[in-house]
């Protein structure tokens, strides 16, 4: 049964009771007690690795580890848990996709369409790939509202297009592109689609099967899980064409000094001892998350940001960059440098992000050098926003006095 109670949700997160007001969930989420407990239990009470032992404890650990893979597959409705590869995060997942699949399937003058919204983690791997293969990066620019027009994608698509690269949700504006429509357009010219789900998965888990997505990547730490763990999803037929990227233990079935036989997918991509505690802890977080009414919790988050927006827009010089109905708010104040305001807010124990947000091309398109951003999860409440607003007013009073 799915339900959502803001108070009960908040009570699951010990860190929310810190003196610091945490408004930086787009960077990483706070962690529920049950996730931390699952990790702690593994380190305290288990001495087993996975796949390597036959003791009851080792077999149980392996079973629990694979249960995490199954839950990750269910979250995004993958065709099979064998479509899920564990990585260190979204960044490594995208690098795996570029190097293991596309490096062998691109030729000079092939084209890679990358949107101007992308986080550096979904831009730099493609630039590196283009340099390696001679392929060309084609920019899909944002419009004057800092969103993407589907109509502006169409003329950029051609028989030379091999892949369209898109975020599920911008980490600056909160804009959510129409992934289903973009996928249809990409496939219409024979191109594949790669979706960066790092921001979007926690707010709106995507159905990769229904949308016919080719590759999808996200990180555990933004979804109430541990750091250092990510998911790389790929269609079965695509993963079958990918050679192993890392070599080492567990990713092979036979080896001599001339050759080796890779293990089946996905294990051929998971060389070495994996992040066992991380996977088990993430599995516990996903099990808990499956009891939450996610649409209702998302509505709650967006209402908090709308409340913050309504308060901030009453202040002179307020400039908003983010989209309505978003769980984050990016902003500046005219005549105030974002770093000056950000520093004064952090001194008042407000945890938020300010700078370029690893999205320099988008900053350039917006004609700014940076901005501030608050982002919430359902563990935040109106009192958090009120304290933030009061801190902004106090900081502005100091900065405006300095300008006089």
- 3-state SS record for the chain: CCECCHHHHHCCCHHHHCCCEECECCCCCCCCHHHHHHHHHHHHHCCCCCCCCCCHHHHHHHHHHHHHHHHHHHHHCCCCHHHEEEECCHHHHHHHHHHHHHHHCCCCCCEEEEECCCCHHHCHHHHHHHHHHCCEEEEECCCCCCCCCHHHHHHHCCCCEEEEEEECCCCCCCCCCCHHHHHHHHHHCCCEEEEECCCHHHHCCCCCCCCCCCEEEEECCCCCCCCCCEEEEECHHHHCCCCCCCCCCCCEEEECCCCEEECCCCHHHCCCCCCHHHHHHHHHHHHHHCCECHHHHHHHHHHHHHHHHHHHCCCCCEEECCCCCCCEEEEEECCECHHHHHHHHHHCCEECEEECCCCHHHHHHCCCCCEEEEECCCCCCHHHHHHHHHHHHHHHHHHHHHHC
Residues 20, 78, single domain; the answer is: no
How many structural domains does the chain have?
A: 2
Residues 26, 43, single domain; the answer is: no
Residues 240, 302, single domain; the answer is: no
> Which among 265, 289, 313 is the end of a domain?
289
Q: Determine the pLDDT at residue 404.
A: 53
Residues 43, 103, single domain; the answer is: yes
In a domain, 247, yes or no: yes
Let me know: does 23 contact 380? Beta carbons within 8 Å: yes
Residues 72, 193, single domain; the answer is: yes
Using alpha carbons, select from 313, 314, 310, 290 the residue that is nearest to residue 302: 310
Of 232, 301, 358, 371, the catalytic one is 358
Using alpha carbons, select from 238, 239, 219 the residue that is nearest to residue 229: 219
Using alpha carbons, select from 147, 148, 207, 204 the residue that is nearest to residue 173: 147
Q: What pLDDT, in 10s, does the model give residues 28-67?
A: 999 999 999 999 999 999 878 998 888 888 899 999 999 9
Q: Mind listing the pLDDT tens digit of every residue in the chain (404 residues)?
A: 688 999 999 999 999 999 999 999 999 999 999 999 999 999 999 878 998 888 888 899 999 999 999 999 999 999 999 999 999 999 999 999 999 999 999 999 999 999 999 999 999 999 999 999 999 999 999 999 999 999 999 999 999 999 999 999 999 999 999 999 999 999 999 999 999 999 999 999 899 999 999 999 999 999 999 999 999 999 999 999 999 999 999 999 999 999 999 999 999 999 999 999 999 999 999 999 999 999 999 999 999 999 999 999 999 999 999 999 999 999 999 999 999 999 999 999 999 999 999 999 999 999 999 999 999 999 999 999 999 999 999 999 999 976 55
Residues 101, 121, single domain; the answer is: yes
CATH of the domain at 322: 3.90.1150.10
Q: Determine the pLDDT at residue 1.
A: 65
Q: Does residue 358 carry a catalytic annotation?
A: yes
Residues 151, 299, single domain; the answer is: no
Residues 140, 41, single domain; the answer is: yes
pTM comes to 0.97
Provide the domain limits for residue 367: 6-30+293-403
In a domain, 139, yes or no: yes
Q: Determine the pLDDT at residue 403.
A: 57
Q: Determine the pLDDT at residue 2.
A: 86
> Which among 238, 270, 289 is the end of a domain?
289
In a domain, 1, yes or no: no
Residues 285, 371, single domain; the answer is: no
């Amino acid at each position: 049964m799915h339900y959502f109670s803001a108070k009960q949700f908040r009570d699951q997160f010990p860190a929310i009771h810190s003196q610091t007001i945490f408004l930086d969930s787009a960077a990483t989420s706070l962690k529920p007690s049950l996730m931390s407990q699952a990790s702690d239990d593994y380190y305290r009470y288990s001495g087993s690795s996975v796949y390597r032992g036959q003791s009851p404890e080792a077999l149980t650990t392996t079973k629990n580890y694979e249960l995490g893979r199954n839950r990750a597959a269910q979250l995004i409705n993958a065709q099979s848990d064998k479509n899920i590869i564990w990585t260190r995060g979204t960044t490594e997942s995208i690098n795996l996709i570029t190097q293991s699949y596309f490096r062998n399937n691109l030729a000079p003058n092939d084209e890679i369409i990358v949107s101007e919204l992308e986080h550096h983690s979904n831009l730099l791997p493609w630039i590196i790939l283009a340099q390696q293969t001679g392929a060309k990066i084609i920019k899909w620019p944002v419009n004057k509202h800092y969103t993407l027009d589907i109509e502006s994608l169409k003329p950029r698509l051609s028989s030379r297009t091999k892949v369209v690269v898109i975020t599920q949700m911008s980490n600056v504006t909160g804009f959510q592109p129409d992934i289903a429509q973009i996928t249809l357009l990409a496939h219409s010219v024979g191109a594949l689609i790669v979706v960066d789900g790092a921001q979007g998965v926690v707010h709106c888990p995507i159905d990769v099967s229904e949308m016919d997505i080719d590759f999808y990547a996200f990180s555990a730490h933004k979804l109430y899980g541990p750091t250092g763990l990510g998911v790389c999803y790929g269609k079965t037929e695509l993963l079958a064409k990918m050679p192993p990227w890392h070599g080492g233990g567990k990713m092979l079935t036979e080896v001599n000094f001339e050759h080796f036989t890779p293990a089946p997918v996905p294990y051929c991509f998971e060389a070495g001892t994996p992040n066992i505690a991380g996977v088990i802890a993430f599995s516990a977080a996903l099990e808990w998350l499956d009891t939450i009414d996610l649409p209702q919790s998302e509505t709650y988050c967006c209402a908090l940001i709308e409340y913050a927006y309504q308060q901030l827009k009453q202040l002179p010089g307020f400039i908003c960059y983010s989209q309505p109905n978003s769980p984050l708010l990016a902003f500046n104040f005219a005549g105030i440098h974002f770093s000056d305001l950000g520093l004064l807010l952090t001194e008042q124990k407000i945890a938020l992000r300010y700078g370029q947000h690893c999205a320099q091309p988008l900053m350039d398109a917006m004609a700014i050098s940076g901005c501030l951003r608050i982002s919430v999860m359902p563990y935040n409440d109106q009192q958090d926003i009120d304290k933030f607003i009061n801190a902004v007013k106090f900081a502005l009073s100091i900065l405006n006095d300095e300008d006089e």
